[in-house]
């Protein structure tokens, strides 16, 4: 899942992006409204986390433009203004959630994850391919009943593959959903994570490399 953080504070913005990446999200950072609008026009985001007060205006004004243009991704507003009137104004402009500063990173992460899930089609809390099961709420993966220790990025890639089991996901599609703009699309980051996943999942191999296309996961033949 890919998130855009819109925050001009030189300490808080990078800290939020880093916290989301540590939780398994791909996170981009914008420090101005015009920069955020440009990123939204070229990238597909599952959620936007935006501070209201930015150098070039109020994020609510941009949110109103986005909603008017039919952009439906969920938006969580960060603000120092915590009054009822401020929150109501935010919701009237199309905000989906509101978090008042200061806040705990754990709460922000939980709210972002909930917003991302809400904007996706309903699905079972557990994914299964062969003898591999993925518990999405608890973020646990087991193979043949054995609990595996995966990094946040390994979990994200495996989730993307299992959500579309049997289908080929290109490297570009995996980068788009599991990495952020800091990643070099020409690098071998996808192949490295796939190699790590294969090692941790063990035999028989469930992840198939489709030459010239990408990867898919399915039951071993």
CATH code of the domain in which 181 resides: 1.10.10.10
Average the pLDDT over each of 46-60, 107-121, 135-149, 178-192 and give the range with the smallest value: 178-192
Helix (H, G, I), strand (E, B) or coil at 70: coil
Considering the domain architecture, whether residues 105 and 138 belong to the same structural domain is answered as: no
Which of residues 118, 146, 174 is at a domain's end?
A: 118
List, for residues 138-179, the tens digit of each pLDDT value: 889 999 999 999 988 899 899 999 988 989 999 888 888 888
Considering the domain architecture, whether residues 209 and 162 belong to the same structural domain is answered as: yes
Considering the domain architecture, whether residues 157 and 111 belong to the same structural domain is answered as: no
Residues sharing a CB contact under 8 Å with residue 171, sequence separation 6 or more, in sequence order: 190, 191, 214, 215
Considering the domain architecture, whether residues 170 and 96 belong to the same structural domain is answered as: no
| Neighbour count for residue 217 (Cβ, 10 Å) | 26
Q: Work out the pLDDT band at 186, boundaries 50, 70, 90.
A: low
Q: For a pLDDT cut of 70, what percent of the chain falls above it?
A: 91
CA distances (Å), origin 145, targets 27, 132, 148, 206: 32, 8, 9, 16
Spatial distance between the Cα atoms of 216 and 173, rounded to a whole number of angstroms: 12
Q: Which domain holds residue 171?
A: 126-217
Please give the tally of structural domains in the chain.
2
Q: Work out the pLDDT band at 82, boundaries 50, 70, 90.
A: low
């Amino acid at each position: 899942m890919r998130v855009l953080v819109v925050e001009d504070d030189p300490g808080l913005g990078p800290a939020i992006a880093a916290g989301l990446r540590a939780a398994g999200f791909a996170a981009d950072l914008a420090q101005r409204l015009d920069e955020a609008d440009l990123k939204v026009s070229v990238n597909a985001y599952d959620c936007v986390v935006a501070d209201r007060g930015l150098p070039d205006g109020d994020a609510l004004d941009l949110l109103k433009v986005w909603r008017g243009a039919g952009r439906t991704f969920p938006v969580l507003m960060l603000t120092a203004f915590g009054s009822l009137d401020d929150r109501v104004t935010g919701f009237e402009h199309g905000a989906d959630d509101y978090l008042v500063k200061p806040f705990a990173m754990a709460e922000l992460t939980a709210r972002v994850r909930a917003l991302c899930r809400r904007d996706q089609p309903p699905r079972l809390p557990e994914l299964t391919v062969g003898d591999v099961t993925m518990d999405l709420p608890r973020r646990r993966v087991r193979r043949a009943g054995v609990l595996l220790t995966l990094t946040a990025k390994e979990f994200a890639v495996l989730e993307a593959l299992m959500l579309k089991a049997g289908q080929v996901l290109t490297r570009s599609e995996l980068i788009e959903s599991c990495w952020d703009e800091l990643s070099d699309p020409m690098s071998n980051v996808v192949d490295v994570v796939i190699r790590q996943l294969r090692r941790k999942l063990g035999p028989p191999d469930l992840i198939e490399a489709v030459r010239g296309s990408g990867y898919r996961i399915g039951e071993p033949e």
